[in-house]
Structure 1
Amino acid sequence: MTSITIDDHVLQSAFIRQPASRSLRVTCYGSSSSKTPEKYLKEARNLGYILAKRGHTCVNGAGSFGCMAAMNDGAVEGNGHIVGVIHKMWLVDQGDWASTPTGKTLRDGGAHSVFDKASNKEGPIREMLIADGPDLQERKRLLVEGAHALVVLPGGPGTWDELWEMACARKLGLHNSLPIVCVNVDHFYQPFVEMMQRAYEDRLLEQTPDEVIHFVETAEEAVRWLEEIQDSDDFASKAVLKKRPSTLRKSSFFGSDLASKFPFSLMPALSWISGSDSEEEGGTASVLLWQGILPLMVGLSVGVLVGTKSKLKR
């Protein structure tokens, strides 16, 4: 394989030449287009190389073009661990992935050449994961499964889709321990920075923008940040999932504001009747029970009142 050019400042960095104290699994998003500008490819190569030298695993979409290919080139140059994730619909007739007598798996022509051979126990990891399903959801899941951090390079709508899906999950607290950092090469992601700041100022975003997505200018800054943030004790607590109250309970009589106007509540009794130990289950059971009992009780009460009034008249 032809030697890949890595920036001199990266090669000379004392930080990059020594492995990190802890090996991380880092998912990387980026372009897969053969028309990706060189300035983006250069930073992608730097990212792959830095991850390799620091002892981290680079997980990506396994593409043979764009930032994905460049980061794999850099990781190979640094003799690092690489995991590619591809959907089976991009495999050509499945032929290139037939198992060989040695148990190895060969790549499809559209994947990066680093995946020509299966993982070797004596060398760095070279692993390919194949996703299934009618869409890309399984592939997206495999990309971030077990990841410690997410690094995003310049890319098109596919990259943006992956980025915003994970940003939304982080905002909701579903991936609150997964830091997200964008390498804002030549201010590529500046519109995203401004949009998030506007959303925060207009109270459409509760967390500060940096708590959801962190923006840096270089790959080295990205790796430094994600290593530091992984060692931070309070990082995972910054985004907390807020559970929305049950709309079913609120729509019921005893879950509405009307219930507070009565001097008693039969909810505990209904929970006991339903045999439920939890408040959530008891509340749901109570709603279902009262949907049948309340009309009956109202009807009986009206009947008693009418009957009593008739007797008094007599």
Structure 2
Amino acid sequence: MKTFFNRRPRGGVLHQELADQALLRSKVDPKWTEEDPWRVLRIMGEFVDGFESLADVGKAITVFGSARVEPGTEYYRLGEEIGKVFAQAGFSIITGGGPGLMEAVSKGARHNDGLTIGLGIELPHEQGINEYVDLGIDFRYFFVRKTMFVKYAQAFVALPGGFGTLDELFECVTLRQTSKIQQYPIVLVGHDFWDELIGWVRHHLVEEGMVSPAEASIIQVVDTAEEALYVVQNTLPKTL
């Protein structure tokens, strides 16, 4: 794992097997026992590096969102506004560090004197850390990166996104549901994008007894950056 400051441009396609792929690949060769115990040391190193790099972050939110959104679009402008209002309110901004909405949020925060943190991930088609990130960290393992998203944030905001965004969102929801993390706010921004998903949760999961109404209410939906900030500020423990 590498820690760096400001932009580190990268590109191209990785042809070697990625760390996550090697870890999760089904083992048919008995020699796998010679590899995985050593891999634990690399994983431990990623945790240590992440903890050391982020220890002094202070009050922060983690923002999830699509890497595929283009600048100048409605969602991109929404991301910039999220970064802006939370930076002005004194929050550091944690994202996945990549393009799209991660870039938009980082840009909005950077232009308003906010600290921007990008937690990158090794992928077959590397995205790179965007130029608006102040502190960037590259991870090999998704589960280590997810720990950092959660450990150093006091609120979670999800902008429109795909499978990665949904994965990160429901990880946070499950951690709250099971009291593995404090009762920090989880806010989705954009009724048009999220309402059908929330309707499905209520219609199927709640009505069929798989989730309680209280558990479904963990997720709150708003339309604007200002509304998201209001929910976060009025939900966080007063000691923060």
TM-score, normalised relative to structure 1: 0.53
Q: Report deviation, 1:37.
A: 7.7
The residue that corresponds to 1:154 in the other structure is 160
SS at structure 2 position matched to 1:194: helix
Higher relative contact order (CA 8 A, sep 6+): 2
Query: Could you tell me how far apart the structure 2 residues matched to 1:137 and 1:37 are?
Result: 32
Residues 172 and 146 (structure 1), Cα distance of their counterparts in 2 relative to 1, 3 Å cut: same
Please name the residue that 2:42 is paired with.
Answer: none
Match of 1:189 in 2: 194
In 1: Cα distance, 2:75 partner to 2:231 partner: 20
- 1:75 paired to 2:93: no
1:110 to 118, 123, 128: 128
Verify: 1:25 aligned to 2:60, yes or no. Answer: yes
Unmatched 5+ residue regions in structure 1? 1-22, 93-108, 116-125, 234-314
Partner of 2:118: 84
Q: Secondary structure at the match of 1:193?
A: helix
The DSSP-based 3-state class of the residue aligned with 2:181 is coil
For residues 122 and 223 of structure 2, what CA distance do their matches in structure 1 show? 34
Shift of 1:212: 1.7
Task: Report Cα offsets for 1:62-91 as digits up to 9, x if no partner.
Answer: 11x211111111111111111110124579
Residue 127 of structure 1 corresponds to: 135
What is the number of equivalent residue pairs in this alignment? 181
Fraction of identical pairs, as percent: 26
* Closer, same or farther: CA 217–31 of 1 in aligned 2, 3 Å: same
Are the equivalent residues in 2 in contact too, given 1:196–1:209 (CA < 8 A)?
no
1:142 is matched with: 148
Asked if the contact 2:201/2:216 (under 8 Å) is kept, the reply is no
Are residue 49 (structure 1) and residue 49 (structure 2) matched?
Answer: no
- Provide the rounded CA distance (Å) in 2 between the counterparts of 1:193 and 1:36: 27
Mapping 1:274-313, distance limit 5 Å: none
Q: Secondary structure at the match of 1:166?
A: helix
Question: C-alpha distance in 1, partners of 2:207/2:123?
Answer: 43
| 145-154 vs 171-180, greater mean Cα deviation | 171-180
User: What whole-Å deviation, never above 9, does each CA across 1:170-216 have from its counterpart, x for those lacking one?
Assistant: 1122124222110025x100112102222223222124255321111
Instruction: Quickly say closer, same or farther: Cα 1:231–1:84, change in 2 above 3 A.
Output: same
For residues 107-138 of structure 1, give each alpha carbon's deviation from its aligned partner in whole angstroms, at most 9, with x where no partner exists. xx7211124xxxxxxxxxx21122233xx111
Report the residue type matching 2:202 in the other structure.
Q
Residue 155 of structure 1 deviates from its aligned partner by 0.6
The 1:91/1:156 distance shift into structure 2, 3 A limit, reads closer
Report the structure, 1 or 2, having the larger strand content.
Answer: 2
Contact 1:131 1:142 in 2 (8 A): no
* Counterparts of 1:77 and 1:152, CA distance in 2: 21
CA distance in 1, matches of 2:94, 2:139: 14
Asked if the contact 1:85/1:129 (under 8 Å) is kept, the reply is yes
Unpaired segments ≥5 residues, structure 2: 1-57
Q: Distance in 1 between matches of 2:149 and 2:143?
A: 10
- C-alpha separation between the residues in 1 aligned to 2:213 and 2:91? 29
Give the corresponding residue for 2:95. 60
TM-score (norm 2): 0.68
Aligned-pair RMSD on alpha carbons?
2.3
Mapping 1:173-252, distance limit 5 Å: 173-185=179-191, 187-198=192-203, 199-208=205-214, 211-231=217-237
CA distance in 1, matches of 2:125, 2:70: 22
